[in-house]
Chain A
Amino acid sequence: GQNIDQPTEMTATEGAIVQINCTYQTSGFNGLFWYQQHAGEAPTFLSYNVLDGLEEKGRFSSFLSRSKGYSYLLLKELQMKDSASYLCAGKDSNYQLIWGAGTKLIIKP
């Protein structure tokens, strides 16, 4: 079956760095997405990886290893507004998104 695994909750300190891991098992693979979702709001697109390696976008970076079925989202210089859920989603051979349950990130002062 298809599955996306990510931690349920993480806590980090303002100004620090946090890495949110995601492992995936999909029927075929056509990319890995990360979305941010603040409480009570819809998800917003953060990043897309289809090739191995690190994609950097400001304070956020996303990494992919296709051979390991693994991705992570790296958040630097954490700010209080980064407190949100981070959703990992893999695109399968039918180009359908398989969603993880999300990682709730709590930022403490």
Chain B
Amino acid sequence: GAVVSQHPSRVICKSGTSVKIECRSLDFQATTMFWYRQFPKQSLMLMATSNEGSKATYEQGVEKDKFLINHASLTLSTLTVTSAHPEDSSFYICSAKTGLAGGPEETQYFGPGTRLLVL
């Protein structure tokens, strides 16, 4: 099956610093990747859709200057949380689409997630 990796799995940083999270599709090419955030005991919240070679599409309420997304290749997307604050502490999960592009058979496969704690 499709495998998506994320790095790091856990990060603790000081307030005001930036953190980069990598998402890789290991055995398939993903033209589209997604970044989600999930607070404890809450549902997944889509932050942005990342398309290879173009600018990411951000969901309403998500600051694009704070959450920088780069999708430089078909297997790698990165999310950088800039000037992190304690309220940014959350579980960040990426997913990648596989299957026929645009078709209904597409399935999202998730990375293992990155737990961010901002002190």
Contacts and interface: CB of A to CB of B under 8 A. Distances in A.
A14 B93 CA distance: 30
B104 to A, nearest CB: 4
B107 interface: yes
Interface string A30-54: 1101010000111111001010000
Contact of A99 (B43, B109, B111, B115): B43
B108 interface: yes
Give the most central of A31, A35, A44, A97: most B CB within 10 Å: A97
A43 B44 contact: yes
A95 B109 contact: no
Contacts, number: 44
Q: From DSSP, what is the main secondary structure of chain A's interface residues? A: loop
Nearest to B34: A97
Contact of B106 (A44, A95, A102): A95
Interface string A4-33: 000000000000000000000000001101
Interface in A33-89: 33, 35, 40-45, 48, 50, 87
B112 A42 contact: yes
B110 interface: yes
Contact of A44 (B46, B102, B110): B110
Contacts of A40: 91, 115
Given A33-B107, A48-B107, A41 B43 contact: no
A26 to B, nearest CB: 12
Contacts of A106: none
Which 6 interchain pairs have the tightest Cβ spacing? A42-B110, A30-B104, A101-B43, A42-B113, A31-B104, A42-B93
Given A40-B115, A102-B43, 14 more contacts: A33-B108, A42-B111, A42-B112, A42-B113, A45-B108, A45-B109, A45-B110, A48-B105, A48-B107, A50-B105, A95-B102, A97-B46, A99-B43, A101-B43
